[in-house]
């Protein structure tokens, strides 16, 4: 039988991967798509968002959205493939007659290359292939110097030091995601001026192989035909996709990268909550905040996502009658103090009542 094509969607925290996958599922054009979500943190934020799209089921199959979305919750995918990824893929391969393709959304802290290498395993190799790797880049963040620092300063540093010895692990991760890509999506283009968009594109394009295109997009609105069907067989082409970790036998993550889950049995005013979260970002090295918020007198659940000082929010669906109206957040960052975060957030929010 034919190999199931797998598209890997990677990118840094808050770049817009989940938004992209949601748009793909809502515009699948008859394709039967299975989705694997690799969530960093104990609260399955991204998996729930995808599951609530309710468009993964197909009238011609017995599959449902819950059947086709598999959420991995024990950290970065390149660390959990032996425990969860292999049995997940084997289960999907057994249902290959119900699946046209698989989409894997990696954690923002995961390296794409170790995941692709897993498709060389005998248990998977004969039944599935990495059709292509799509790297999602937050264009608005780059334009503002967030995440990777000031663009001009970073460019000057690279020109001055070819060894790149002064790069941080985050910058190495960013480059590894670019070097493994078959397509790079520059998201949030609607938040950028034409001058900033041109500047970011001019900075990114020289870092990509000539065959890799850089495509601006807004709200994940990209045609499925552009994301699927690369036929790249990436697992057989890894030598042309260099990584900072190629000489490392076993990839090790920074043990200081942690996630702090927060659950409150109460409702919050979004404005006050975001104000306090922004304050927390200045007090600790926080990379990402995301979650669901129960808002007073609102029947809809609020989705909250923050990177740096930028927070996005939208209501995704009504609260279900059988679920508690809880506020659940995940804070992801470096060397975080969970007790201090919980205490500061609880005390500050309680004082605002």
Q: Which residue has the tokens 């949030």?
A: 188
pLDDT of 112-122, one tens digit each? 888 898 899 98
Look up the pTM and report it: 0.76
Classified as helix, coil or strand, 296 is: coil
Q: Is-contact 228 131, C-beta < 8 A?
A: yes
* pLDDT at 312 > cutoff 90: no
Task: Report the run of H or E that residue 129 belongs to, with start and end.
Answer: strand 128-138
pLDDT digits (tens, 9 = 90+) for 224-239: 888 898 899 999 988 8
Long-range contacts of 189-192 (CB under 8 A, 24+ apart): 189/139, 189/216, 189/217, 189/218, 190/218, 190/219, 191/139, 191/140, 192/139, 192/140, 192/143
Stretch among 67-71, 125-129, 190-194, 205-209 having the lowest mean pLDDT: 67-71
Residue of 353 and 31 predicted with greater confidence: 31
Res 162: pLDDT: 44
pLDDT score recorded for residue 298: 94
What letter does residue 42 receive in the DSSP assignment? S
Residue 269 has pLDDT above 50, yes or no: yes
User: Is pLDDT at 215 greater than 60 in this prediction?
Assistant: yes
Residue where the block lists tokens 């170790």: 114
* Cα–Cα distance measured from residue 161 to residue 302, given in angstroms and rounded to the nearest whole number: 45
Please compute the mean of the pLDDT values over residues 293-319 and round it to a whole number.
Answer: 90
**62 pLDDT higher than 70:** no
Q: Is the pLDDT of residue 330 over 60?
A: yes
- Residue whose C-alpha is closest to residue 224's, from 128, 88, 131, 91: 131
Instruction: Give per-residue pLDDT as tens, 158-167.
Output: 455 444 343 4
Q: What was the pLDDT predicted at 251?
A: 47
Is a pLDDT exceeding 60 seen at residue 82? no
Collapsing DSSP states into helix, strand and coil, what is residue 28?
A: coil
Our measurement of the distance from residue 144's CA atom to the centroid of its chain's CA atoms, rounded to an integer in Å, reads 20
The b-or-e profile of 61-73 (16+ CB within 10 A means b, else e) is eebebebbbbbbe
pLDDT on residue 195: 93
Task: Quote the CA–CA distance of 72 and 39 in Å, as a whole number.
Answer: 6
- Walk me through the domains of the chain, giving residue ranges and CATH numbers: 4-240 (3.40.50.300), 257-351 (3.30.1220.10)
Return the higher-pLDDT residue of 79 and 327. Answer: 327
pLDDT value at residue 74? 59
Mean pLDDT of the chain: 80
Whether residue 259 is predicted with pLDDT greater than 70 in this model: the reply is: yes
In the predicted model, is pLDDT for residue 168 greater than 50?
A: no
Q: With contact defined as beta carbons under 8 Å apart, do 174 and 146 qualify?
A: no
- 286 or 82, which is more confident: 286
Residue 287: which pLDDT band, with cuts at 50, 70 and 90?
confident
pLDDT of 111 strictly over 70 = yes
């Amino acid at each position: 039988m034919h190999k199931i094509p797998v598209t890997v969607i990677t990118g840094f925290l808050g770049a817009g991967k989940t938004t992209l996958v949601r748009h793909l599922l809502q515009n699948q054009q008859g394709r039967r798509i299975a989705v694997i979500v690799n969530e960093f943190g104990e609260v399955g934020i991204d998996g729930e968002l995808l599951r609530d799209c309710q468009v993964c089921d197909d009238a011609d199959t017995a599959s449902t959205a819950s059947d086709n979305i598999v959420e991995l919750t024990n950290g970065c995918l390149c660390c959990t493939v032996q425990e969860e990824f292999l049995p997940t893929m084997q289960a999907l391969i057994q249902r290959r007659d119900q699946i046209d393709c698989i989409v894997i959304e990696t954690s923002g802290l995961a390296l794409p290359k170790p995941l692709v290498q897993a498709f060389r395993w005998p248990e998977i190799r004969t039944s599935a292939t990495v059709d292509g790797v799509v790297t999602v880049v937050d264009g608005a963040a780059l334009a503002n110097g967030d995440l990777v620092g000031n663009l001009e300063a970073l460019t000057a540093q690279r020109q001055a030091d070819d060894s790149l010895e002064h790069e941080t692990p985050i910058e190495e991760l960013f480059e590894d995601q670019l070097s493994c890509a078959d397509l790079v999506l520059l998201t949030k283009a609607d938040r950028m001026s034409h001058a900033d968009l041109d500047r970011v594109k001019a900075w990114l394009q020289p870092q990509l192989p000539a065959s890799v295109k850089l495509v601006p997009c807004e709200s994940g609105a990209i045609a499925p035909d552009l994301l699927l069907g690369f036929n790249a067989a990436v697992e057989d082409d890894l030598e042309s996709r260099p990584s900072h970790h190629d000489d490392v036998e076993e990839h090790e993550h920074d043990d200081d990268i942690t996630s702090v889950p927060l659950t409150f049995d109460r409702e919050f005013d979004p404005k006050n909550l975001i104000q306090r979260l922004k304050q927390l970002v200045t007090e600790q090295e926080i990379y990402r905040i995301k979650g669901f918020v129960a808002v007073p007198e609102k029947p809809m659940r609020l989705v909250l996502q923050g990177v740096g000082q930028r927070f996005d929010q939208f209501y995704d669906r009504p609260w279900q009658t059988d679920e508690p109206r809880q506020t659940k957040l995940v804070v992801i960052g470096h060397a975080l103090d969970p007790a201090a975060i919980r205490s500061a957030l609880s005390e500050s929010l309680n004082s605002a009542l």
